[in-house]
Amino acid sequence: MKLSGLLIGLLLSYSALATAADQSICGPTSEIIFHSNGKLKSCDLKNVYEVNGMRCNANNKISFFANGRVSSCVLAEDFTIGKVTCGNLGTIEFYSSGKLSSCTLTKDVDIGGKNCIKGQPIQLFENGRLKSCTK
């Protein structure tokens, strides 16, 4: 079954990624960077960090947008957004809107009639349409 780009975009949105993350999530020797508005921009996590069911791996970098949403992190376990399952220990990236930008697939997925294979990276446009993958 093919889904329209709009529907795919809605399914691949990771809403409510805005968090109150502060430097307390950062490791003691981590370089901590802040946005000009004072919000955390990036650091290395001291523990697994969970936001809305997505678990980011300890001792790896996490980045946030100025709006507080997660920009990227290394996953501590597989994470599914819509019909895309991103793999454990792979980097997941989002747009500032909270929509999925890229990750490494754990399962094959069909997007817009194109089959993308597990174990390979996938990139999406912000509207949810496929930008690239290995077929």
pLDDT at 9: 47
Question: Is pLDDT of 8 > 80?
Answer: no
State the Cα torsion 71-11-133-50 to the nearest 10°.
Answer: 40
State the pLDDT confidence band at 13, using cuts at 50, 70 and 90. Answer: low
State the pLDDT confidence band at 130, using cuts at 50, 70 and 90. Answer: very high
Concatenating the DSSP letter of every residue in 21-81 gives: --GGGB-TT---EE-TTS-EEEEEBSS-EEETTEEEPTTSEEEE-TTS-EEEEEBSS-EEE
Question: Is pLDDT of 62 > 90?
Answer: yes
Contact between 4 and 11 (Cβ < 8 Å): no
pLDDT at 14: 52
pLDDT at 102: 98
Rounded distance between C-alpha atoms, residue 23 and residue 75, angstroms: 19
Compute the mean pLDDT over every residue in the chain, rounded to the nearest whole number: 88
pLDDT at 134: 86
Rounded distance between C-alpha atoms, residue 6 and residue 27, angstroms: 39
pLDDT at 6: 41
Question: Is pLDDT of 53 > 70?
Answer: yes
State the pLDDT confidence band at 99, using cuts at 50, 70 and 90. Answer: very high
The ranges assigned to domains in the chain are: 5-133
CB environment 22-61: b (16+ within 10 A), e (fewer):
eeebbeeebeeeeeeeebbbbbbbeeebebeebbbbbebb
100 CB neighbour count, 10 Å cutoff: 25
